[in-house]
Chain A
Amino acid sequence: NAGVTQTPKFQVLKTGQSMTLQCAQDMNHEYMSWYRQDPGMGLRLIHYSVGAGITDQGEVPNGYNVSRSTTEDFPLRLLSAAPSQTSVYFCASRNYRDRGDEQYFGPGTRLTVT
Chain B
Amino acid sequence: GNSVTQMEGPVTLSEEAFLTINCTYTATGYPSLFWYVQYPGEGLQLLLKATKADDKGSNKGFEATYRKETTSFHLEKGSVQVSDSAVYFCALLTGGFKTIFGAGTRLFVKA
Contacts and interface: CB of A to CB of B under 8 A. Distances in A.
Contacts of B45: 105
Q: Is the interface of A mostly helix, strand, loop or mixed?
A: loop
Contacts of A43: 44, 89, 101
Contacts, number: 47
Interface of A: 4, 31, 33, 40-43, 45, 48, 50, 58, 90, 92, 96, 99-100, 102-103, 105-108
Interface of B: 32, 34, 36, 42-46, 49, 51, 89, 93-95, 97-99, 101-104
B84 to A, nearest CB: 19
Contacts of A107: 42-43
A31 B32 CA distance: 17
B32 A100 contact: yes
Nearest to B42: A107
